[in-house]
Amino acid sequence: MRSIVLKNLKGRPVRTAVLVMIAAFLSFAVFGGTLVTASLGRGIDSLEERLGADVMAVPKEATQKKRFEDIILQGSTGYFYMDIAKLDEISQLEGVGQISAQLYLASTSSSCCSIPVQIIGFDPETDFTVTPWIKRSCGNELGQRDIVVGNDLNAFVGDKLSFYGVECRVAAKLDKTGTSYDTTVFTNTATIKELIRSSLERGMNDFSDIDPDRVVSCLLIDAADGYTPEEIMNDINLHVKRVKAYQSKSMITGIASSLSGVSGMIRTLIGAVWLLGIVIMLLAFTMSVNERKKEFAVLRITGASRKMLSGLVMKEALAVGAAGGVAGCLLGMLVLIPFGDLIEQKLSLPYLFPGWGYVLVCFACTLAVSVISGVASSAVSSLRMSRIDTGIIMRGDS
């Protein structure tokens, strides 16, 4: 019976190809849509993890035109500074647990800099957000003029990159995060202060009258036990002048709602494609079985039971579903893996491709969906075939 199934499929190449393509399209939509949704989910998880702190405080002017949010969430470049005294002032507030300062600088596309990127300097003594995941890529502490580059930057360990004439060594390259940190350069406070000084000396800094030793860009704060991030944020916004505090979670709320919208749209699209695929396959199988009624009658005459006839239709559908499923998933991988960065850019959302384990599970589930859809759409035809009146069908020819 299996050889009859295969010969039937091979003997009608156009019909088989069309059915396989429909199943492949269906599988591509299910597989691709699921992976994109999962990548977006992982992206936002990764962003939440990278933000690390409960509360982030920046100079008030950094909040104009969403500069700070754009740097953190969208991968824009920029910098702003406030007096280092704000660090002491905020650390004195009730409920503030850990606190660490970061300094920002953006390189330019002019000849003094190798690449235009966002540079973030952190204090290894107090940092509790960046250091843990930098340590995963770089075992040793960063020395003077050592930098760690984001995964999307075209630089590798041992490369030399120049910023405002200061040559820095790439000490490590971070794993992919799916966030703006993939295009960011990290270094310690001492190095970034040297870079800021150099930019000031060259007259290439937007701020001409700052002392790198007396300023910070962003304060990262964790709430002490018994205090909520909201309380800390409100306290800072009420009592610390010219500083704006954000709750990290609320910063990603906008992204989360965009992500929820995109994910919902993808799910709707998957549902629509799946429904359309099922209807088309149902019609295709019905037409195909109608066209082959006489062949089924011949099989019945030669000794095929009703179960064998319906099994024949089902097995053809199963083979079509399996072939289409594999083709759709492979196509999905071919599109999603190499073009992940482009998808991230187009969606403007954190996007982190899931691990291979998840991809394999997704592959297997999509294959199952494709096979079940194929078999389900052939079920009506299969049932009709098992009830054919052989005599009437054969007589129709004479």
Partner 1 sequence: MNVTAENVTKEYIRPGRGTNRFAAVNGVSLTLEGGSLCAVMGRSGSGKTTLLNILSGLLSPTSGKVFLDGRDIYSLDDKTLSRLRCESFGVVPQGQSAVRTLTVEENILLPFMLYKEKGGREYALELMKRLGIAELASVKPSELSGGELRRMSIARAVIRRPGVIFADEPTGDLDDENTALVFDFLKQLAGEGSAVMVVSHENDALKYADRVMKMSAGNFEIMKGA
Residues 301-327: b if buried by 16+ CB within 10 A, e if exposed: eeebeeeebbbbbbbbbbbbbbbbbbb
**Shortest distance, CB of residue 20 to partner 1, whole angstroms?**
16
- Told to check if 18 binds partner 1 by CB under 8 A, we report no
Q: Using CB under 8 A, pick the residue from 302, 338, 356, 357 that binds partner 1.
A: 302
Instruction: Answer whether 145's CB lies under 8 Å from 168's CB.
Output: yes
Compute the distance between CA of residue 104 and CA of residue 112 in angstroms, rounded to an integer: 18
Q: Using CB under 8 A, pick the residue from 275, 279, 301, 337 that binds partner 1.
A: 301
Number of residues that bind partner 1 (CB under 8 A): 31
**Shortest distance, CB of residue 17 to partner 1, whole angstroms?**
15
Compute the distance between CA of residue 131 and CA of residue 123 in angstroms, rounded to an integer: 9
The residue (of 126 and 390) whose beta carbon lies closer to partner 1 is: 390
- Told to check if 389 binds partner 1 by CB under 8 A, we report yes
Instruction: Answer whether 206's CB lies under 8 Å from 104's CB.
Output: no
- Told to check if 387 binds partner 1 by CB under 8 A, we report no
The residue (of 65 and 395) whose beta carbon lies closer to partner 1 is: 395
- Told to check if 20 binds partner 1 by CB under 8 A, we report no
Instruction: Answer whether 344's CB lies under 8 Å from 259's CB.
Output: no
Nearest Cα neighbor of 35 from 278, 323, 266 is 266
**Shortest distance, CB of residue 21 to partner 1, whole angstroms?**
20
Question: Which tokens belong to 220?
Answer: 């990262």
Task: Give how far the C-alpha of residue 130 lies from the chain's centroid of Cα atoms, to the nearest Å.
Answer: 21
Compute the distance between CA of residue 324 and CA of residue 166 in angstroms, rounded to an integer: 56
Site string for partner 1, 269-298 (x = CB under 8 A): -------------------------xx-xx
Q: Using CB under 8 A, pick the residue from 1, 17, 157, 342 that binds partner 1.
A: 1
Binding segment for partner 1 (CB under 8 A), chosen from 9-17, 56-64, 82-90, 273-281, is 9-17
**Shortest distance, CB of residue 47 to partner 1, whole angstroms?**
56
- Told to check if 14 binds partner 1 by CB under 8 A, we report no
- Told to check if 382 binds partner 1 by CB under 8 A, we report no
Instruction: Answer whether 126's CB lies under 8 Å from 102's CB.
Output: no
Question: Which tokens belong to 375?
Answer: 């078999």
Q: What residues contact residue 199 under an 8 Å CB cut-off, 6+ apart?
A: 105, 164, 205
φ and ψ of 83, to 5 deg: -65, 140
- Told to check if 17 binds partner 1 by CB under 8 A, we report no
Binding site for partner 1 (CB under 8 A): 1-4, 7-8, 10-12, 294-295, 297-308, 389-391, 394-398
